[in-house]
Structure 1
Amino acid sequence: MKDLMGMMNKVKDMQQRMQRLQEELAALEVTGSAGGGLVSVTLTGKGDMKGVKIDPSLLKPEDAEIVEDLIVAANADAKAKVEASLQEKMAEVTGGLPLPPGMKLF
């Protein structure tokens, strides 16, 4: 019975850490860039796009396709940074215990 109580306390502690992690993710903003910084995209910790910045030198009609590709690349860069940050924070919450493949907590 002692082990069960210890396990329940660990679960409760993990739930509290998960709650704090969700709050941190809500406040997290990550910026990814492409084209040597000519295009940048800012995402929230949940992966929602918050903003796009484009260097004025790219705003020529003949460069539209390049700008579109750079926006996609900057978005991918920002999303990769969000994923890396999430994995780092999850490792802190779970104490380094690996989660089963495909298991998502968000």
Structure 2
Amino acid sequence: MFDKLFEVQQKAGEVKQRLDALTVTGTAEGGKISVTATGNKIIQSVNIDPEFFKEADKEELEELLVIAINKAMEQADNVSQSEMAAVTKDMFGGMGGMFGK
């Protein structure tokens, strides 16, 4: 049983490392604003097209930044869920008989 717990902890660490290495990008206004984050939801960069920045007002810029950040976070969630599903399937896939399947 402790071996299984250790394996779970080890797999969780591996997933965290993979998610740290993956990047996702959320964009708004046709790519004029982009936010890049890791699969672990750490924002790495924000890029705003200089021409758009000159013309945009504060409220518009703030709204579009929120949109781009939310899109990046949604993609990070999707990547994280996929990684966790793969690990769970690998670990428990062979134990289907244990749960009546």
Corresponding residue for 1:28? 22
Contact 2:34 2:68 in 1 (8 A): yes
Instruction: Give the secondary-structure state (helix, strand or coil) at the position aligned to 2:41.
Output: coil
Contact 1:14 1:94 in 2 (8 A): no
Unmatched 5+ stretches in structure 2: 93-101
**Percent sequence identity over matched residues?**
38
Instruction: Classify 1:24/1:50 alpha carbon distance in 2 versus 1 (closer, same or farther; 3 Å).
Output: same
TM (norm. structure 1) is 0.72
Instruction: Give the secondary-structure state (helix, strand or coil) at the position aligned to 2:81.
Output: helix
Unmatched 5+ stretches in structure 1: 1-6, 98-106
Instruction: Check if 1:47 corresponds to 2:15.
Output: no
Aligned structure 1 segments of 4 or more residues deviating by more than 6 angstroms: none
Corresponding residue for 1:16? 10
Query: Deviations 1:3-36 (Å, cap 9, x if unpaired)?
Result: xxxx555444333322210111222221110111
Moved more, 52-61 or 66-75: 52-61
Contact 1:14 1:93 in 2 (8 A): no
Contact 1:58 1:67 in 2 (8 A): no
- The alignment's C-alpha RMSD in Å is 2.1
Query: Deviations 1:58-93 (Å, cap 9, x if unpaired)?
Result: 223652221111111000000000000000000011
TM (norm. structure 2) is 0.75
